[in-house]
Amino acid sequence: MVTENKCDELIHKLVNKSQEAFIVGIELYNKPTIKYRVEGFSFFICNAWELLLKAHMLQTLGADSIYYADSHQTKSLSVCIKQIFTNDKDPLRKNLEKIIDLRNTSTHFITEEYEQIYVPLFQSCVLNYINKLLQFFDIDITAQLGSNFLTLSVKMDELSKESIQARYPKEIASRIMSAMATIGQTINLEHNDKYAIPVRHEYYITKKRKEATASFAIAKNAEEATFIVKELHDMQKSCPHNVSDCVNIINNRIKREGINFINPSPKEDSKRHSFNKYLFDLFVKFYNLKQDPAYCYEYNIGSSKFYSYSDKTINLIMDQIKKGPEHVVQDLKDKVGKSTPGAKEF
């Protein structure tokens, strides 16, 4: 068992090894020549989480907390997860448990298609780890790795029932399609970025030529016939964040990325580095985001208007903050003024 005077030293070692395992997993997954990506990443990310949680248990619960009762054997990752994240409905916990299942079966059966099936869970797991490392030990791993390296690369080949059946024997194809259906269903049910961050490529028709990546013309005498098909989209899925969500995500990213953001308005020093709803509104008004469906979705409840926002909105605001974290607020105030919109936001 671990004695009290050795506990701090062990915590330090566990946290360092956890970060090493995490970085190795990221580097392995993003190397284009590696074909062992899914198996390797699932092994190293689980190892990183196990070391992190055990260090947290030692720090908060004492020297013997990582061991089974009356045993020198340390607890498994699954047990540590249940002990730290006690809510079995927690999307973070469910994400980890699904990746543990993958790790436990990866030595028996993994195909290249699993990469596309599991990458939404992997991407969430990466961000969850970064946030918990910062929360538990006040360590920002992006200082070592850089936030631009934290997006997992993924092949976007065709992943259809027909292509899978053509490539694999019946039994293997059935298992792949079963995994694809199960993961897809849980992603739709959870609809939470702590469980999964889906990878999507979306296309739309625009009359603004500068925004287009391809162009076409409609000709009456064309040899090949085509149609313009209008498809219904759930804009509340494309723009899932209310104002409070956006503010919280931006504040977390400011802290995680170590940005010296300055908000000159608050009298309290504790709030001078915090992004708030008023500042969010300044950005929305200056960039006229409510008029662009790529950034904002407007809907009505009774006679009141409400708005939700996309990830693109958050990324735009973060990009502008990074360009001038100490003066961006004052610049916006000078250009926009202090008026507030008439529509209600929450």
User: What is the per-residue pLDDT across 241-280, written as a single tens digit (0 to 9) for each?
Assistant: 889 889 999 999 998 888 999 888 777 777 888 999 999 9
Mean of all residue pLDDT scores within the chain: 81
CA 89 to chain centre: 18
pLDDT of 213 strictly over 90: no
84 and 182 housed in the same domain: yes
Is 195 a member of any domain? Answer: no
At 229, is the pLDDT very low, low, confident or very high (cuts 50, 70, 90)? very low
Is 226 a member of any domain? Answer: no
242 and 186 housed in the same domain: no
Q: How many independent structural domains does the chain possess?
A: 2
pLDDT at 204: 55
**CA dihedral angle for residue 203, residue 206, residue 212, residue 217, rounded to 10 degrees:** 100
Q: What is the DSSP string of 38-99?
A: HHHHHHHHHHHHHHHHHHHHHHHH-TTTTB-TT-SPBPPHHHHHHHH---TT-HHHHHHHHH
pLDDT of 311 strictly over 70: yes
243 and 175 housed in the same domain: no
pLDDT cut 70: percent of the chain above it: 75
Tokens of 171: 């039994």
Residue that finishes a domain, picked among 162, 190, 218: 190
Residue that finishes a domain, picked among 137, 155, 190: 190
143 and 259 housed in the same domain: no
Average pLDDT over residues 40-48: 94
Report how far residue 197's alpha carbon sits from residue 282's, in angstroms, rounded to the nearest whole number: 28
pLDDT at 341: 43
At 343, is the pLDDT very low, low, confident or very high (cuts 50, 70, 90)? very low
Is 90 a member of any domain? Answer: yes
239 and 312 housed in the same domain: yes
112 and 261 housed in the same domain: no
At 174, is the pLDDT very low, low, confident or very high (cuts 50, 70, 90)? confident
Tokens of 269: 């020093």
pLDDT of 132 strictly over 70: yes
Is 210 a member of any domain? Answer: no
CB 48 within 8 A of CB 21: yes
Among 103-117, 213-227, 257-271, top mean pLDDT goes to 257-271
At 344, is the pLDDT very low, low, confident or very high (cuts 50, 70, 90)? very low
Q: What is the DSSP string of 268-311?
A: SGGGTT---HHHHHHHHHHTTGGG-TTTEEEEEETTEEEEEE-H
- Tell me which residue range forms the domain holding 21: 4-190
Is 322 a member of any domain? Answer: yes
Is 84 a member of any domain? Answer: yes
CA distances from 50 to 43, 57, 68, 216 (A): 11, 10, 15, 53
148 and 30 housed in the same domain: yes
186 and 117 housed in the same domain: yes
pLDDT tens for residues 56-85? 999 999 988 999 988 889 999 999 999 999
What letter would DSSP give residue 224? S
pLDDT of 53 strictly over 90: yes
249 and 125 housed in the same domain: no
323 and 181 housed in the same domain: no
254 and 174 housed in the same domain: no
Residue that finishes a domain, picked among 190, 224, 251: 190
Closest CA to 152 of 115, 190, 104: 115
Closest CA to 49 of 7, 79, 89, 28: 79
Regarding predicted confidence, which is higher, 30 or 161?
30
Regarding predicted confidence, which is higher, 111 or 60?
60
183 and 261 housed in the same domain: no
pLDDT of 282 strictly over 50: yes
